[in-house]
């Protein structure tokens, strides 16, 4: 999916049977090639006698895209950890010493005894054996360790590339920002887990020991932002280097096309649609955090109608006696949260479908056209997986595939946005 955003195929996307509107755009493009100004970046310039890089080395692009692929894997494994109810098995935050898996019987017994002190053992994994505990412990331990590994894979090469002058000044700022996002993601991970370890969850008969849906959504949001940032950064590095090496054929035609009003308008719609995809993904995190997928397991209806009764969707129970807090139904009422996710999901699907239909009529570059078709196909897959997950009472395989595909769908939307961004002019 990462490769879909590459401009390697250049501007070869116009079919033989172009429409009248397409031909009109092309005529304006031909006239604009020689007169339209373009945004300009310099490959390098001399300041105080020293050359300063303004285009990152190609290896930086490979590195950031590899990091993005690692984030994708962490997201998928994190989803599996949640689906197998393994996330609360490690009850301590030990960034260094926690990297080692218990090896002796005594060490395993010690970890098991710690786990028994928290509500999940008494309400969810009732009477779990040591062997079963080892399985859920490994799921959480591995999730944390691939997070630790990602930290090393990101921070060590980052320091090397910067020290060797392989990153531009703007690139250094981006790497620093993504690094802060990485650290915030780790901290949010423990903050999320700690919400499921609160002793009060064991004192209330109706309380379910699970992490806060707010913190779960925040944790996943940071992961998606990190994935998006790394992907866009890597694609931008490749694009700039292809322009420098003159590997983009007909670059002047492509540059003028991407500045056409119809393409600019379409790019803005794609930007809005990408934000809609991300919002729908976060809505899915709220569903997961409340186990809202375990109710109303039919589609398109919810019970006896398209929606549950208003009294259930807007219940006084979730306001906790405060009439001004009825809004909590939107984030704490499983029925309302599931309905909201359904509405967002179908809105996203029909929006992407409309944009696919519109994009077919525009003379888009080949990379954009391929990414557009991929996005539309992934939207169909996402809807099918979502419905299948719901009606089958959230089987682990379906739910995991649904989450993984959501990342791919977001990647395709980001990729399409990237391919439609204006081309910078490289001055040598």
Alpha-carbon distance 22 to 361, whole Å?
7
Q: Tell me which residue has tokens 């790019």.
A: 267
Rounded to the nearest 10°, the torsion over CA 168, 174, 180, 181 is: -150
Instruction: Indicate the SS3 state at residue 58.
Output: helix
What per-residue confidence (pLDDT) applies to 266? 98
Question: What are the beta bridge partners of residue 42?
Answer: 427
pLDDT tens-place values along the chain, 428 residues long: 444 444 444 434 444 334 545 555 555 544 444 443 334 444 444 444 445 677 999 999 999 999 999 999 999 999 999 999 999 999 999 999 899 999 999 999 999 999 999 999 999 999 999 999 999 999 999 999 999 999 999 999 999 999 999 999 999 999 999 999 999 999 999 999 999 999 888 888 788 899 999 999 999 999 999 999 999 999 999 999 998 888 887 888 888 999 999 999 999 999 999 999 999 999 999 999 999 999 999 999 999 999 999 999 999 999 988 999 999 999 999 999 999 999 999 999 999 999 999 999 999 999 999 999 999 999 999 999 999 999 999 999 999 999 999 999 999 999 999 999 998 766 55
pTM above 0.75, yes or no: yes
**For residues 319 and 325, is the Cβ–Cβ distance under 8 A?**
yes
What per-residue confidence (pLDDT) applies to 28? 56
Q: How far is CA 187 from CA 4, 30, 191, 241, in A?
A: 32, 52, 6, 35
Parallel, antiparallel or unpaired: strands 425-427 and 40-42: parallel
42, containing H or E segment: strand 40-42
What per-residue confidence (pLDDT) applies to 6? 46
Q: What is the rounded end-to-end Cα distance, in angstroms, of the chain?
A: 31
The two tokens of residue 317 are: 């129970």
Q: Tell me which residue has tokens 């993005």.
A: 68
Question: HSE of 108 in the Cβ direction (CA atoms, 13 Å)?
Answer: 13
What per-residue confidence (pLDDT) applies to 234? 97
**For residues 125 and 85, is the Cβ–Cβ distance under 8 A?**
yes
With b meaning 16 or more CB within 10 Å and e meaning fewer, what string describes 268-278?
eebbebbebbb
DSSP for 199-227 reads GGGGTSTT------HHHHHHHHHHHHHHH
């Amino acid at each position: 999916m990462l490769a879909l955003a590459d401009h390697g195929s250049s501007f070869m996307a116009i079919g033989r049977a172009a429409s009248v509107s397409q031909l009109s755009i092309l005529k304006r493009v031909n006239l604009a090639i020689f007169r339209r100004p373009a945004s300009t970046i310099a490959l390098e310039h001399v300041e105080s006698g020293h050359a300063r890089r303004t285009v990152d080395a190609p290896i930086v692009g490979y590195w950031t895209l590899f990091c993005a692929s690692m984030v994708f894997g962490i997201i998928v494994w994190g989803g599996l950890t949640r689906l197998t109810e393994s996330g609360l098995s490690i009850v301590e935050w030990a960034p260094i010493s926690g990297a080692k898996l218990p090896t002796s019987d005594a060490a395993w017994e010690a970890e098991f005894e710690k786990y028994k002190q928290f509500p999940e053992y008494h309400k969810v994994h009732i009477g779990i054996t040591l062997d079963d505990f080892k399985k859920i412990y490994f799921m959480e331990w591995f999730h944390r360790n691939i997070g630790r590994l990602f930290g090393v894979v990101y921070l060590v090469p980052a320091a090397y590339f910067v020290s060797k002058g392989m990153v531009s000044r703007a690139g250094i700022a981006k790497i620093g920002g993504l690094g802060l996002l990485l650290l915030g993601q780790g901290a949010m991970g423990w903050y999320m887990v700690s919400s499921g370890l609160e002793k009060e969850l064991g004192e209330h008969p109706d309380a379910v020991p699970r992490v806060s849906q707010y913190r779960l959504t925040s944790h996943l949001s940071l992961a998606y932002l990190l994935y998006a940032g790394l992907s866009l950064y890597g694609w931008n590095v490749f694009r700039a280097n292809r322009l420098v090496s003159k590997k983009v054929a007909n670059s002047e035609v492509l540059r003028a096309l991407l500045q056409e009003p119809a393409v600019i308008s379409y790019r803005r719609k794609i930007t809005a649609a990408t934000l809609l995809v991300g919002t729908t993904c976060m809505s899915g995190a709220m569903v997961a955090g409340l186990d809202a997928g375990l109710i109303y397991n039919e589609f398109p209806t919810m019970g006896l109608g398209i929606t549950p009764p208003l009294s259930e969707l807007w219940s006084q129970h979730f306001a906790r006696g405060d009439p001004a807090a009825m809004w909590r139904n939107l984030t704490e009422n499983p029925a309302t949260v599931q309905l909201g996710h359904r509405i967002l999901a179908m809105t996203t699907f029909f929006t992407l479908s409309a944009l696919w239909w519109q994009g077919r009529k525009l003379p888009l570059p080949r990379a954009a056209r391929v990414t557009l078709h991929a996005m539309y196909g992934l939207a169909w897959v996402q809807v099918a997986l979502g419905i299948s997950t719901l009606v089958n009472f959230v089987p682990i395989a379906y739910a995991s595939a649904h989450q993984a595909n959501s990342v791919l769908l977001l990647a395709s939307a980001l990729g399409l946005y990237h391919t439609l961004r204006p081309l910078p002019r490289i001055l040598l």
